[in-house]
Amino acid sequence: MKLLVVEDEDKMRELLDRGLSEAGFEVDVAPDGVTGLQLALDNSYTLMVLDAMLPGLDGFEVCRQLRQRGSSTSILMLTARYEIDSRILGLDAGADDYMVKPFSFAELLARLRALVRRGLQTWPQYIEKGGVRGDAQNKKVIYGSTEVVLTATEFDLFRCLFEKSDAALSRARILEAVWEFPFNGSSNIVDQYVGYLRKKLSPLSQVITIETVRTLGYRLVLNTSGSDTK
């Protein structure tokens, strides 16, 4: 399975190259954004580990250009701990997941395996309730003439909540359904992604609401009975 690492720090790039190769991936590496983008356009990679801060062309622009050109490569972005806003920028650019440096290599492998499994899963192209349609192939939520494009992870979170709409789901259940990780009480990744999803779905806020269920998790509520879908 082909994987591209785009990382400008020599030591980190070498560690990722060696560790991922030992884990069974066929690894290519790039030291900057321009080289990484060209490699990604010239080759077919299943996965990309992409640093946010790169010389020449930063990781956000690399990700954005790949998505604009129709790339379906699953992208995991790496950000420094102090780059809080960069996580949002990366997801908005089309990244599927992110990790904060320093990170556990075992967790990196787990996240990459989850992205691979997600890509191999076959789902019905459309899921629909109350006139709201989820397009699994194109990662879109559609209601009337409004279309909202999501990243792969955001769409998986939407599907998890949408399929159980009106039911309260715990953070542990969401984490295991979307990321396939056992729940860690200190993890706030579910809360962060719910925030991203709420922001993306704001054009549909009159018909889709994601409610916080205190001490438990979240509930997606549909309110389409009196809405105009035209």
Domain coordinates of the chain in residue numbers? 2-120, 126-222
Closest among 223, 31, 47 to 130, alpha carbons compared: 223
Asked whether 36 and 10 are in contact (CB, 8 A), the reply is: no
| Global pTM exceeds 0.75 | no
pLDDT at 220 over 80: yes
144 pLDDT band, cuts 50/70/90, is very high
Least confident span in 51-55, 61-65, 141-145, 174-178: 174-178
Tell me what the mean pLDDT of segment 169-183 comes to. Answer: 78
Closest among 159, 162, 170, 158 to 214, alpha carbons compared: 170
pLDDT at position 162, please? 94
Least confident span in 96-100, 164-168, 205-209: 96-100
Residue 102: asked if its preceding bond is cis (omega within 30°), the reply is yes
pLDDT at position 230, please? 40
State the pairing for strand pair 146-149/140-143: antiparallel
For the chain, the 3-state helix, strand and coil shares in percent, each to the nearest 5, are: 40, 25, 35
pLDDT at position 90, please? 65
**CATH architecture of the domain with residue range 126-222:** Orthogonal Bundle (1.10)
C-alpha–C-alpha distance, residues 196 and 152, integer Å: 12
| CATH of the domain spanning 2-120 | 3.40.50.2300
pLDDT at position 182, please? 55
